[in-house]
Structure 1
Amino acid sequence: MKYLGTFLMVLCVSFIGLAQKTIEVNSPDSRLRLNVTLQQNGEVTYSVLLKNNAIIKPSSLGFRLSKPALLLNHFKIVSVDTSTHYDTWTPVWGEVKTITNHYKEVKLNLKSVNAGNVLVQIVFRLFNDGVGFSYEFPEQANFKHFVVDEELTQFNLAGNNKTFWIPGDYDTNEYLYNTTKFSDIHALAAAHKEKDIALQSLIADNAIQTPLMMKTPEGIYVNIHEAALVNYPVMHLLADRKNFKLTTHLTPDAVGNKAYLQTPAKTPWRTIIISDKATDILASKTILNLNEPSKIENTSWIKPQKFIGMWWEMHVGKATWEKSSGKHGANTANVKKYIDFASENGFDGVLVEGWNEGWEDWFGNWKEEVFDFVTPYADYNLDELLAYAKQKGVKLIMHHETSGSATNYERRIDKAFQLMNEKGINTVKTGYVGKIIPRGEHHDSQWMVNHYNRVADKAIDYKIMLEAHESVRPTGLHRTYPNWLANEAARGNEFNNAPTLGLVPEHETILPFTRLMGGPMDYTPGFFRMHLNQFVPERKTRVRTTIAKQLALYVTMYSPLQMAGDLPENFNVHPDLLQFIKDVPVDWDDTKILEAEPGDYITIARKQKGKDNWFVGAVSDENTHKATINFNFLDKGTKYQAIIYRDAPNADWNTNPEAYIIEKVMVDSNSILSINLAKGGGCAISIFK
């Protein structure tokens, strides 16, 4: 269903003085107000208010081009178009069954002043929970090919916000989050504490990444990110710490250029999600709504899935990826044990890392020809394992580590995907560890952004589902590419094994407000052994959560592709806890954000796709927290059995992480439970009619 309407311009354009023009638009529910102003000097600025409180003060817009050498930041208005849009759409998979897309749009048709009369359009869409805006360059006679030197978008904040940030870096987003006042951002100092990140390409001491989460002194929550990142580099932000201002900084290529464009062209959407409730930030669908609908007509082959991975034993020292070590994990006999475990516990698949030749000498050597993605090691009998998995009702999941050599992968991807089709393998995990080839490109540059999207397109041709590690962070493109199930693109659960900083308990209370705003994350939850000295006794690394929190992450860290992260032998120690991982779905009809505060706690309830079962997850930071769960989302007049997996009274992520209690209670829509979460703790609940 779609509704389009038009505002009368006399209602939304006012004239101040002789030349300044302001266009004022209210959100559909009138809580947000957007002002777009053509200043007397020709600059275009925008501002955003929530209930008359300034959130984004007047902020300038524009571009600096290197070819042709133009400064596009002074304009005259040719015309203004306004409209209202309302429709609903059904995602192929997701957190809710249907999504409402309701916004008011303003399109400014501009002509540059003293810069070649270039035509530029700036499109604003104002939703109830935020605003998105994008630049468009229509086809025009005297302006066709151009090179972007920098985008000049600003976000002029109203105050010294509490800010959850990671350092700006062209090649990685695997940092711990820092929580400081905006004025106390120091990216280089934070980055230099990190000793466990394989590749860093730092930008500046005031450079930070999106998604960026903030809380104003008045208690307003603000999230800045981008949507629909296509044919354009990743947007970083430079912080003017004294004046509380952010300016875009695009990722450069090998020669320092940012983007090569040809009219007609458009940029990704710049997004600002705003609410006085933290729960509204997590519930927002604005970034998804700013992406194009699915490119895939028949999506019946796309299936969310739960799997176990033959990967963690390499991280904890039991095995290796390379065969030459004598401890090769991806051998036929070992992988059969994983297939048995997946079959016995109802999992859909088994991911196998280190199955193919080439792992011996690539890391750190910037080699172009490393893997061919089709040749197994001699001790990995692919056909035997496929037959065994089919007999057990399990699928193998392919692993394509590119070693950062995107050129090599693009040359070989058709043969790799053809092999998958021939063998009946329909899901692939890609990886981009190390420096990128083409040499000089970055993980976040325009060329690599296009590469990730080309891989997703190619996967459609072969009906293959995709997840990507070490990639650009998501921007809602899983609406357009529903076969692109998940990404890593942040500091995942595997960093519990990092020897220095590792993870901290608050990490999982920040990620949903930052990284997950753009899309699902393959966080690899489900660790049952907290001390990681199982195979290397002198190893000091450990998981910094309670075991109950590991269960809760299956609900709070959304993904349609969920891994059971630990080893089969560790899961078998706690079959009662494993039951929750077996029960919890990966696709949902409804989601309720019950309570949330970034950096402190999150409690979420989700309804299983096509069934009446609900699941709840609650997580805390390094402090204890009393989670209050109101079951008013349940059907009225119906009794449910709730199976509660929670921290024991003496549980503590540091001193007693594996202490838990399982209890069963009857609940209905009038029930309210208060559950104590330990330090670094959590609670998971299965609710059945």
Structure 2
Amino acid sequence: MKSLFILSVTLFLSVFNLGFAQELKSPNGALSMHFSLEDNGKPTYKLSYKNNEVIKPSYLGLELKDDEKSLLNDFEITDTQTSTFNETWTPVWGEEKEITNHYNELAVSLKQKETAREVIIRFRLFNTGLGFRYEFPSQPNLIYFTIKEERTQFAMTGDHKALWIPGDYDSQEYDYTESKLSEIRSKFDTALTDNASQTQYSKTGVQTSLMMKTDAGLYINLHEAALINYSCMHLELNDETMVFESHLTPDVNGDKGYIQAPSTSPWRTIMVSDDARDILRSRITLNLNEPCAIEDTSWIKPVKYLGVWWEMITGKSSWSYTNDLPSIELGVTDYSKVKPNGTHGANNANVKRYIDFAATHGFDGVLVEGWNEGWEDWFGKSKDYVFDFVTPYPDFDVDAIHEYAKSKGVKMIMHHETSSSVRNYERHLDEAYQFMRDNGYSAVKSGYVGNILPRGEHHYSQWIVNHYQYALEKAVDYQVMVNAHEAVRPTGISRTYPNLIGNESARGTEFQAFGGSNPNHVTILPFTRLLGGPMDYTPGVFEMDISKLNPNNNSHVNSTITNQLALYVTMYSPLQMAADLPEHYEQFMDAFQFIKDVAIDWDESKYLEAEPGHYLTIARKEKGSNNWFVGNVNGNNKRTSNIALNFLDKGKKYMATIYADAKDANYKTNPQAYTITSKKVTYKTKLSLSSVPAGGYAISIIEVK
């Protein structure tokens, strides 16, 4: 059911008021945006929240390549249009069953006096923030052009506290650093950690989504939405003036974008509130994307899954089939003549073990990595033809596994590691997707580990962004759901293409087996990475001591078991993995019960407590039922969480099962210490629960009929 209200007013401006400020207010009046032209025709804007300046006067425009006159100044206003828009739309899956899209809009038409080129800057002001973009109408004087750099500015009002990761053209897999803006330069090198592919560009460059807090207690977030046919935006800080400027990811030639009018840029977004929970509630990123482009979405379904994955990540088993070959060539190497290494995880018996466990405990699917030929020399070789995505190893029988899973009511999930050879993936994409359809795979986890091929391209440049979109749209033709790892961070495109049911695109659980992540990492991601779409974070690890899986790996998962349980609520995703090995769940079946019970699609979400980097408590109502689930994740300091259950229905009774840190729980020395208690609750109930550092709690609240 959709409701829609649009009011449009057109104002024509004369030459005598070209420099006058145009004001736009949010529907609730709390936010105010002003646009104006300076004397030299340079576009500027500023933003205020409750009469307090949030963004000081900041410049807008694009610098063009070569001898072209840039789109930076010499403009006059030829037209402005204002309108109000208010609708309610229904997502295919999501944190709530209906989303309100309510904003006031100002579209400013500009004409460059010397060139007669036309640009529209469109502003949309929501109750929780601002979105704006550049639009290039069809015109004779601006058809094809190359962006040297986008010069959008975000002028801060002070030296704010920020949660940031280094600006990088190829990786977002970093822990967050908390510092003043002025400290980014001095802390930049210590914020870096190793990765398979990374390219930093500046000691004051950071990535969006950037979360900040002012001394006055305002929360500010800078991001982008609807990244289509354009380079991913980073931010470059002038740490003397505290002004951020957009910094686009270049291609192999150093160019930032090839544009053909008519076209638009992605939206640049600024979320602001004096309540951190409003940042989590905001649906600006989704609302700035186009409505669903898929006519029949009945095949797109949330998935809870297990996988032959964590055992490879930890080094307990291997992706490769043999250790005897120094190199392999697909179609030439005969795997039947080599000795198996005995550690290959994707073998028939092991995969059937996971399928049995999934079927017994009600999981939808099983992911299997390392099933296909080519893993012996896939990484770091700059190799183009590395996988064909259809040829299995001798110990993985595609047909037999398909039939076995089908007999158990379990769906298999495909894995496509491209090793960042995107040309090779595109050559094989139709055949690979058809192979999935033929063998009962409804979802694919794709990976882009390593440096991009073609050589010199980056993971977040325009050409590669277009590749991710191509793979996503091609998947619609085969009714395939996509979970892309190492791809560009999502920017709300899942509204338009809800078959994008997950991404990694941040530092996920796997890094807990690569040396660990900061204890407060999961208290930050919902305020940053998840604003663009759900993350395949792969939670649910119960054995924190990685040396028990692999004696040669001394890594430790910086989390308690109840923190891992809470992630199923706080790290929203319609694609949720129980990442650990079946035998570890069998040791803690009482705690595993929460993972079995928790929903993955929701009618309603309540954000009870929030402070970025410190703590987060969320309650969600299961789609189509009266059952609720609550998750709390805690940061670096022990904390008591006080919550009211006033979101429950009046007149109804519920049974709450509370999974909490034990008093002696410690994420380093005693992470598996937890308590489970049950009690009757109503909408009048208040709870006080303690969470240790990197701990938390999870609650299932089931209606008593």
Normalised to the residue count of structure 2, the TM-score between the two structures is: 0.95
Q: How far apart are residue 498 of structure 1 and its match?
A: 1.2
CA offsets per residue over residues 430-481 of structure 1, 9 Å max, x none? 0000010111110000001000000110000000001000000010000000
2:299 pairs with 1:301: yes
Aligned letter for 2:235?
A: L
Q: Which residue of 2 aligns with 1:112?
A: 112
SS of residue paired to 1:397: strand
2:5 pairs with 1:3: yes
Aligned letter for 1:315?
A: I
Q: How far apart are residue 26 of structure 1 and its match?
A: 1.0
2:359 pairs with 1:343: yes
Q: Which residue of 2 aligns with 1:594?
A: 608
Q: How far apart are residue 539 of structure 1 and its match?
A: 2.9
Q: Which residue of 2 aligns with 1:145?
A: 144
Distance (whole Å) between structure 1 residues aligned to residue 113 and residue 212 of structure 2: 36
CA gap of 1:625–1:316, structure 2 versus 1, over 3 A, is same
CA gap of 1:374–1:18, structure 2 versus 1, over 3 A, is closer
Q: Which residue of 1 aligns with 2:246?
A: 248
Identity %: 54
2:537 pairs with 1:539: no
- For the 8 Å contact 1:125–1:133, the answer to whether it is kept is yes
Distance (whole Å) between structure 2 residues aligned to residue 624 and residue 348 of structure 1: 36
Distance (whole Å) between structure 2 residues aligned to residue 374 and residue 672 of structure 1: 54
Distance (whole Å) between structure 2 residues aligned to residue 307 and residue 274 of structure 1: 36
Q: Which residue of 2 aligns with 1:632?
A: 646
2:90 pairs with 1:90: yes
Q: Of the candidates 407, 410, 422, which is equivalent to residue 391 of structure 1? A: 407
Most deviating of 397-406 and 1-10: 1-10
Q: Of the candidates 411, 417, 420, which is equivalent to residue 401 of structure 1? A: 417
Aligned letter for 1:119?
A: E
- For the 8 Å contact 1:56–1:155, the answer to whether it is kept is yes
Q: Which residue of 2 aligns with 1:480?
A: 496
Q: Which residue of 2 aligns with 1:321?
A: 319
SS of residue paired to 2:312: helix
Distance (whole Å) between structure 2 residues aligned to residue 43 and residue 194 of structure 1: 37
Distance (whole Å) between structure 2 residues aligned to residue 190 and residue 333 of structure 1: 47
Distance (whole Å) between structure 1 residues aligned to residue 6 and residue 226 of structure 2: 22
CA offsets per residue over residues 356-402 of structure 1, 9 Å max, x none? 00001121111000000000001100110111101111011000000
Runs of 5+ unmatched residues, structure 1 = none
Q: Which residue of 1 aligns with 2:309?
A: 311
Within-5 A mapping of 1:341-490: 341-490=357-506
Q: How far apart are residue 9 of structure 1 and its match?
A: 4.7
Distance (whole Å) between structure 1 residues aligned to residue 581 and residue 566 of structure 2: 19
- For the 8 Å contact 1:78–1:110, the answer to whether it is kept is yes
Distance (whole Å) between structure 2 residues aligned to residue 14 and residue 144 of structure 1: 27
Distance (whole Å) between structure 2 residues aligned to residue 18 and residue 493 of structure 1: 56
Distance (whole Å) between structure 1 residues aligned to residue 669 and residue 487 of structure 2: 35
Within-5 A mapping of 1:175-186: 175-186=174-185
Within-5 A mapping of 1:129-168: 129-168=128-167
Q: Of the candidates 669, 674, 699, which is equivalent to residue 655 of structure 1? A: 669
Distance (whole Å) between structure 2 residues aligned to residue 36 and residue 214 of structure 1: 24
Within-5 A mapping of 1:120-131: 120-131=119-130
SS of residue paired to 1:93: coil
Q: How far apart are residue 8 of structure 1 and its match?
A: 7.2
SS of residue paired to 2:546: coil
- For the 8 Å contact 2:165–2:191, the answer to whether it is kept is no
Aligned letter for 2:590?
A: D
Q: How far apart are residue 340 of structure 1 and its match?
A: 0.5
Distance (whole Å) between structure 2 residues aligned to residue 497 and residue 70 of structure 1: 51
Q: Which runs of 4+ in 1 moved over 4 A?
A: 7-10
Q: Of the candidates 226, 231, 234, which is equivalent to residue 232 of structure 2? A: 234
Q: Of the candidates 695, 698, 701, which is equivalent to residue 681 of structure 1? A: 695
Q: How far apart are residue 243 of structure 1 and its match?
A: 1.1
- For the 8 Å contact 1:404–1:437, the answer to whether it is kept is yes
SS of residue paired to 2:479: coil
Q: How far apart are residue 6 of structure 1 and its match?
A: 2.9
SS of residue paired to 2:269: strand
Distance (whole Å) between structure 1 residues aligned to residue 270 and residue 97 of structure 2: 24
Q: How far apart are residue 35 of structure 1 and its match?
A: 0.5
CA gap of 1:167–1:617, structure 2 versus 1, over 3 A, is same
SS of residue paired to 2:438: helix
Distance (whole Å) between structure 1 residues aligned to residue 429 and residue 72 of structure 2: 42
- For the 8 Å contact 1:278–1:596, the answer to whether it is kept is yes
Distance (whole Å) between structure 2 residues aligned to residue 535 and residue 607 of structure 1: 36
CA offsets per residue over residues 383-427 of structure 1, 9 Å max, x none? 101111011110110000000000000000000011111112110
Distance (whole Å) between structure 1 residues aligned to residue 193 and residue 208 of structure 2: 22
SS of residue paired to 1:450: helix
- For the 8 Å contact 2:602–2:623, the answer to whether it is kept is yes
| Alignment RMSD | 1.4
Runs of 5+ unmatched residues, structure 2 = 324-340
Q: How far apart are residue 537 of structure 1 and its match?
A: 2.6
- For the 8 Å contact 1:533–1:541, the answer to whether it is kept is yes
- For the 8 Å contact 2:645–2:683, the answer to whether it is kept is yes
Distance (whole Å) between structure 2 residues aligned to residue 110 and residue 633 of structure 1: 48
Q: Which residue of 2 aligns with 1:569?
A: 583
Q: Which residue of 2 aligns with 1:262?
A: 260
The count of aligned residue pairs is: 682
Q: How far apart are residue 61 of structure 1 and its match?
A: 0.2
- For the 8 Å contact 2:226–2:289, the answer to whether it is kept is yes
